[in-house]
Amino acid sequence: MITAIARFTGIPTLLVWAALIAIAAGGVWAWGSYQHHAGVREGRAIERAAWEKAMRDLREQMDAERRQAQERIDRIEQDYLEGRKRDAVLIADLEAAIVQMETEDAEDDNAAGPVCRPAIPRGLSKQLDAIGR
């Protein structure tokens, strides 16, 4: 067959052999290149899937940590608000004690004149101790 091709084209047999070998080598190279690129595409797809799974896992972990932090913040805020309510009651009691002290002082001053009293009356002192100031 090689000889028939060489006679038909007028090309020496050695060149026909060289051309057929070059075509065969090119085909083998093209097939190998195709297989290589197919492997690269497959590897890329596998790595992409693994990366996406890792990103999903990381996002889920970060969301869980964020939820836990938000729960801690909510608990702290609730404790703070409850403390503010308790403080409001104590402050109201303290203000009532101050008003009572001022009233008593005004009545005593009117009745007996100026008298040396303690710097802080006992009722007011107890109220201040309850608040912690």
* pLDDT tens digit sequence for 12-23: 888 888 888 999
Q: How sure is the predictor about 50, in pLDDT bands with cuts at 50, 70 and 90?
A: very high
Report the pLDDT value the prediction gives residue 77, as an integer from 0 to 100. Answer: 97
Report the pLDDT value the prediction gives residue 55, as an integer from 0 to 100. Answer: 97
Residue 128 neighbours by CB under 8 Å, 6+ apart: 94, 120
Query: Mind listing the pLDDT tens digit for each residue in 52-100?
Result: 999 999 999 999 999 999 999 999 999 999 999 998 988 888 888 888 8
Say what the pTM is.
Answer: 0.46
Q: How sure is the predictor about 31, in pLDDT bands with cuts at 50, 70 and 90?
A: very high
Provide, rounded to the nearest whole percent, the portion of the chain with pLDDT above 70: 85
The tokens for 65 are 């940590």
Q: At what angle do helices 122-131 and 13-112 cross, to 10 degrees?
A: 170
Distance CA 133, CA 131 (A): 6
19 or 106: which leads in pLDDT: 19
Query: Mind listing the pLDDT tens digit for each residue in 34-43?
Result: 999 999 999 9
